[in-house]
Structure 1
Amino acid sequence: MRDLTKNFVNDIVIIGAGIVGLATAYTLKKKHPGLRISIVEKESGIATHQTGHNSGVIHSGLYYKPGSLKATNCIRGYQMLVNFARENEIPFELCGKVVVATKQEQVPLMETLFQRGVRNGLRGMKRLTVEELREYEPHVNGVAGIHVPQTGIIDYSVVAGKMAQLFQEKGGEIHLGNKVNSIIPKEKYSIIETSEQSIETKLVVNCAGLYSDKVAAFTEQKMNVKIIPFRGEYFDLVPDKQHLVKNLIYPVPDPNFPFLGVHFTRMINGGVEAGPNAVLAFRREGYKKLDVDWPELKETLAWPGFQKVAAKYWKTGMGEMYRSFSKAAFTKALQGLIPEIQASDLIPGGAGVRAQACDKKGGLIDDFLIMENKYAINVCNAPSPAATSSLSIGEILSERVLKRFPDPVAS
């Protein structure tokens, strides 16, 4: 094992080279180039998990509770992301989306959503009649809708790559292939033991995504949340049916379930995705149906909070699982939005795994969750819209970090 602790002490080590970790590192280096910052990442490349499997939507902030971290960071992060993309010539498009009520009983929920968007500061939203809905999306089925002009599309892997480049150009280091095995807190610093080396640091910033709870447990005495992995599976529309979707089409979401339901997304690099469903993944990085890690699955099933979630949402969960194994059922769900869609129009697409924090009482944490102690700042829940919000989250984390380094140039 190569030991770097004798000759080099980091001010900050960020664990995880996904978009939140990279945005935090980039922001810190931009604010204070004198800080000695390293990123450690267990994979051989950056942005390989949630960031690299992202659907590429620039979220507007429509769905989130006013005043929540999700709402404030999404709204601010949206503009920061757009500015970052423009400054660095990263392709993006603010194409807008429609949210569709397919049944009359969904209209009151849609109106609540509209009012939430207004409270979150969205301007230019428009209620749509059936006729107006068809003007935006001619093939959609619905009784009413909302047009949200702020929503856009981008490739978050490209964004993450640019953040990594700029961070390294400012003197930051990224250590790939370094799985964190333990963090040993000392009085004035911590020792991070990875699969390749030992690294001393004054502060740990945990942006480990799907393993954020595991990393947090190294420095947090009591962990009352656990990451539950949910896989989202997509189909792609065949080329000759992509004309059925002009931009983005979303259903009215179930307010009691932390997922948006199957929808259609035009991609910045071409093509149209349909999905996702939301099923329990049998391993934290389980992108395929039969990916299983038995110890991880056993740990998930034994978590009291998950057992309560399963008891509450078992009907919904069974429906999602059925759609996972039945293309016909998945097609039927999509036909609720676009009746012309047929099973033959769909080809298997990608999948992503969402790191969803769950507390012991069965609460699926709805907001971003950041936990702090003497040794570390732990980002323990950062699902969607974390990619859209990444630069804003990086700003919040950098502010918290810099409170601990009053004179960073001299540190």
Structure 2
Amino acid sequence: MALDVIIVGGGIVGLATAHRLLETRPDLHIALFEKENMVSMHQTGNNSGVIHSGLYYKPGSLKAKNCIEGYHQLIDYCTKENIPFELTGKIVVASTEEQRGQLETLFQRGQQNGLDGLKKLSLAEMREYEPHVTGVEGMFVPQTGIVDYRAVAAKLAVGTQIKGCEMHLGEQVIDIKKGLTFSIVETTKSVYEAKLVINCAGLYSDKVAQMTQKEPLDVRIVPFRGEYFKLREDKEYLVKNLIYPVPDPNFPFLGVHFTRMMKGGVEAGPNAVLAFKKEGYKKLGINAKELWETLTWPGFQKVAVKYWETGLGEMYRSFSKEAFTKALQVLIPEIQINDLVEGGAGVRAQACDRNGGLLDDFSIVEDAKVINVLNAPSPAATSSLSIGKTVAEMALCRF
């Protein structure tokens, strides 16, 4: 018997999509395929655990809409399912006079996105929240928190299975052929038929999307590794909650920051360096084929030309603990090199188009047989239940 829906990818977006589909249509026959033996092993399980507010995103964009709606849906879900979380708030710090204007732009954008309770802060007021911070001006954002997204994903996985979703772990999708009525999905273990395929494959979403069309895809997932240090336990007092810099307008990432973790401890980072393979969590981890595909992608070559100086700085900080420490000292001068111990790393799946554009918004592309979630980097975890609802609504038009 053919399946109604096959979902490719067992990260939080794929799980949330299954959850939303079965919430509305419990009669649907759905199967989820994940190549790892556990869910949430990649972007979901290796991020900073922040519940984002929607502060940074262009008003009206998919990121703004889904992050803000997803924020409330995530809190409701965690409350209902007894998943621990905290709404800590965060401060965003302007470290130079030149950054005051950028901070004001962020403040206005937050207001446009409906964030209540934003407050501009003097240095003295910042130190009421974070006694060891420094800067010329700051902003308090109350709609920010922390959670363990692996715990959220695990609960979603159990819930969807209870509702009837088939969970195929350790089974990788290797080919998809679209037919007149059904798509034929081949995995490492078997062959299946489905009326609809939903691609939530994260770092491999471009590969899965390419399986579903003959013409070359116009985007490529470029993997960027984010590396973290942790504060030594006796130095964790230096950070009470979350401290972020004003993001560099010349670079599409948020910059190194401090995050108190739900599971304990304080992380410092991440940087953003090109990973030499899609799941490149180690500095010297290389997949020659995947690296060649990145380096020869015309869009990446244009990105490299545009951001080469900033990119070299990020790479230098990757190999120099001293340089990483100096970046952190901009926010907390007391931090010393010996206060940092090596932490983990995550890899961000960033879509890059052929013309050198790093897609700033979520991207969801569909046809009659397939829905491809092609770009869902941060804040996708915060936004996951809202993204899942959006995708589910697109899917249910077919049933």
Please classify the TM superposition score into its range, dividing by the shorter chain length: over 0.9
Residues 1:252 and 2:246 are matched in the alignment: yes
User: Shift of residue 178 of structure 1?
Assistant: 1.0
Residues 1:9 and 2:2 are matched in the alignment: yes
Partner of 1:113: 106
Report SS of the residue matched to 2:140: strand
| Cα distance in structure 1, aligned partners of 2:123 and 2:317 | 28
Residues 1:357 and 2:381 are matched in the alignment: no
| Cα distance in structure 2, aligned partners of 1:255 and 1:314 | 15
| Cα distance in structure 2, aligned partners of 1:82 and 1:317 | 35
Partner of 1:63: 56
Partner of 1:52: 45
Report SS of the residue matched to 2:255: coil
2:378 partner letter: S
- Aligned pair partner of 1:262 in 245, 256, 259: 256
- Aligned pair partner of 1:39 in 32, 49, 53: 32
Residues 1:162 and 2:155 are matched in the alignment: yes
Partner of 2:312: 318
User: Shift of residue 365 of structure 1?
Assistant: 0.2
Residues 1:396 and 2:399 are matched in the alignment: no
Residues 1:346 and 2:346 are matched in the alignment: no
- Aligned pair partner of 1:280 in 264, 268, 274: 274
Report SS of the residue matched to 1:124: coil
Report SS of the residue matched to 1:117: helix
2:347 partner letter: V
User: Shift of residue 392 of structure 1?
Assistant: 0.2
Residues 1:371 and 2:371 are matched in the alignment: no
1:382 partner letter: A
Report SS of the residue matched to 1:217: helix
Residues 1:82 and 2:75 are matched in the alignment: yes
**Per-residue Cα deviation, 1:127-146 (whole angstroms, up to 9, x for no partner):** 00111011111100101000
Give the TM-score normalised by the residue count of structure 2: 0.99
| Cα distance in structure 1, aligned partners of 2:272 and 2:241 | 22
| Cα distance in structure 2, aligned partners of 1:180 and 1:39 | 10
1:93 partner letter: E
| Cα distance in structure 2, aligned partners of 1:54 and 1:109 | 26
Residues 1:219 and 2:221 are matched in the alignment: no
User: Shift of residue 255 of structure 1?
Assistant: 2.1
User: Shift of residue 375 of structure 1?
Assistant: 1.5
Partner of 2:182: 189
Report SS of the residue matched to 1:140: coil
Q: Indicate if the aligned counterparts of 1:190 and 1:375 stay in contact, CA closer than 8 A.
A: yes
- Aligned pair partner of 2:173 in 159, 170, 180: 180
- Aligned pair partner of 1:202 in 195, 202, 211: 195
Partner of 2:225: 231
Q: Indicate if the aligned counterparts of 1:286 and 1:292 stay in contact, CA closer than 8 A.
A: yes
| Cα distance in structure 2, aligned partners of 1:258 and 1:378 | 23
Q: Indicate if the aligned counterparts of 1:219 and 1:373 stay in contact, CA closer than 8 A.
A: no
- Aligned pair partner of 2:284 in 285, 290, 298: 290
Partner of 1:304: 298
| Cα distance in structure 2, aligned partners of 1:176 and 1:91 | 26
Partner of 2:144: 151
1:122 partner letter: L
Residues 1:380 and 2:374 are matched in the alignment: yes
- Aligned pair partner of 1:27 in 9, 15, 20: 20
Root-mean-square deviation over aligned CA pairs: 0.6
| Cα distance in structure 2, aligned partners of 1:327 and 1:94 | 31
| Cα distance in structure 1, aligned partners of 2:234 and 2:5 | 51
- Aligned pair partner of 2:265 in 263, 271, 275: 271
Q: Indicate if the aligned counterparts of 1:15 and 1:205 stay in contact, CA closer than 8 A.
A: yes
Report SS of the residue matched to 1:200: strand
Runs of 4+ deviating beyond 3 Å: none
Report SS of the residue matched to 2:286: coil
Q: Indicate if the aligned counterparts of 1:127 and 1:147 stay in contact, CA closer than 8 A.
A: yes
Q: Indicate if the aligned counterparts of 1:368 and 1:381 stay in contact, CA closer than 8 A.
A: yes
Partner of 1:5: none
| Cα distance in structure 1, aligned partners of 2:149 and 2:283 | 24
| Cα distance in structure 2, aligned partners of 1:337 and 1:36 | 51
User: Shift of residue 25 of structure 1?
Assistant: 0.2
2:42 partner letter: H
User: Shift of residue 115 of structure 1?
Assistant: 0.1
| Cα distance in structure 1, aligned partners of 2:161 and 2:77 | 17
User: Shift of residue 222 of structure 1?
Assistant: 3.9
Partner of 1:133: 126
1:198 partner letter: V
Give the TM-score normalised by the residue count of structure 1: 0.96
Calculate percent identity across the aligned residue pairs: 65
| Cα distance in structure 2, aligned partners of 1:234 and 1:250 | 14
| Cα distance in structure 2, aligned partners of 1:103 and 1:141 | 10
Residues 1:95 and 2:88 are matched in the alignment: yes
| Cα distance in structure 1, aligned partners of 2:216 and 2:16 | 28
